[in-house]
A = this chain, B = another copy of it.
Amino acid sequence: MKNKTIIFEKRPEGKPEQECFRIEENLVPEIQNGEVLLKTKYVSVDPYLRGRMSDRKSYTSGFNLGEPMQSGIIAEVIESKNPDFRKGDFVSGLLNWAEHQVSNGEGLTKVDADAAPLSAYLGLLGMPGLTAYLGLMEIGQPKKGETLVVSGAAGAVGSVVGQIGKIVGCRVVGIAGSDEKTELLKTEFGFDEAVNYKTTPNMRKAIAKACPDGVDVYFDNVGGEISDGVMLNINKFARTTICGAISQYNETRMTTGPRLQSVLLVNSALMKGFIVHDYAEKFPEAIKQLSQWYGEGKLKLKETVVEGFENIPEAFIGLFEGENIGKMIVKI
């Protein structure tokens, strides 16, 4: 049986393009004792993968040219010679972009197809959900009545951050890149206010207007000028979670902006980089809380689903065009 794998072919300069990837065709591998054969069902494409494609220092190890691309994947066990897994089990793990692959079971987690849609384990109940919950709670530490601003608010992480902010009792303001998205933030996710940065000439003023009491917590997924505008509105003792900087990932050199040290100083404010893997010991409690809120209907699942294995690169590239609302998923 034929089996396709997507190979990391060329490092992007600036924005990733189709030519960075190559599809390789082989045969579906045989499994040995202790192994399982996996059939890919859902593939997660995430902005952080851009960092792994460059040879700059990042918070995860880089991809090697000529080897398969990897990301979070939900797969079905279609054959097992490993006592821990049975045919028909669904698992999540950091896996290759391949239609089929062999695993010895290491790093695989069984997921419950009855508790939530399978793809939820790549979003709300997966890394993006953990990132939203832990990044907000551990660094942002939002309190009832405070103002929370979220950039990249319509994305996989941002949309969950905003909803958790509402559960905690914050006034929540989202920043996103289209009127469709800002509308959805308010109608679907319960944000109090939303700003379309693409039609906003002055982010500083727009945030000041959307946040009459200033900004207490900023959950930053984007960096760049948007964040400059938010940071110039922070309150005394404000906390900023730097979770991502998607506006910067495709820059070939560091960009410049207002130096924020004086703003942090005057406000006794904190800014901290957040990498979800640093908080691994808190994953179980976080997943428990997210699952409970999801079960109670307090957290909504929102996905942009692209279909077809060959379209994984396109879906990934689309992240940088803001084409997704909620989690970007590829269904195989």
**A residues with CB within 8 A of B:** 51, 57-59, 220, 223-224, 227-228, 242-245, 248, 254-275, 278
The docked-state distance in angstroms from the alpha carbon of A59 to that of B265 is 8
The 4 closest A-B pairs by CB, nearest first: A264-B273, A265-B273, A254-B258, A270-B272
Q: Which residues of B lie under 8 Å from residue A266 when comparing CB positions?
A: 51, 57-59, 273
Question: A58-B266, A268-B273, A273-B265 are known contacts. Are A255 and B258 too (CB-CB below 8 A)?
Answer: yes
Q: Is the CB of A271 within 8 A of B264?
A: yes
Are A223 and B262 neighbours in the complex by a CB distance under 8 Å? Answer: yes
Partner of A265 from the list B224, B242, B265 (CB cut-off 8 Å) is B242
The CA of A58 and the CA of B263, in the complex, are separated in Å by 9
Across the interface, do A245 and B261 meet the contact criterion of CB distance under 8 Å? yes
Q: Indicate if the CB atoms of A248 and B270 lie closer than 8 Å.
A: no
Q: Indicate if the CB atoms of A261 and B274 lie closer than 8 Å.
A: no
The interface residues of chain B lying within 8 Å CB-to-CB of A270 are 270-273
Which residues from chain B contact A258 at a C-beta distance below 8 Å? 254-256
B257 in contact with A259 (CB, 8 Å): yes
With a cutoff of 8 Å between Cβ atoms, the chain B residues found around residue A269 in the complex are 272-273
A92 shortest CB reach to chain B, Å: 24
- Cα(A258)–Cα(B253), bound, Å: 10
With CB as the reference atom, state the residue of chain B lying closest to A224.
B259
Nearest chain B residue, comparing its CB with the CB of A222 = B261
List 4 other contacts, CB 8 Å, given A224-B259, A264-B272, A270-B273. A59-B265, A245-B262, A254-B258, A268-B272
CA distance A275 to B237 in the complex (A): 11
Interfacial chain B residues near A58, Cβ < 8 Å: 266
Knowing A256-B256, A270-B270 touch, does A265 contact B261 (C-beta < 8 A)?
no
- Kindly list chain B residues whose C-beta atoms are within 8 Å of the C-beta of A243: 265
- What are 18 residue pairs bridging A and B, where the CB atoms are less than 8 Å apart in the complex? A59-B267, A224-B259, A228-B259, A242-B265, A243-B265, A248-B259, A248-B261, A256-B257, A261-B273, A264-B272, A265-B273, A265-B274, A265-B275, A268-B274, A268-B275, A269-B272, A269-B273, A270-B270
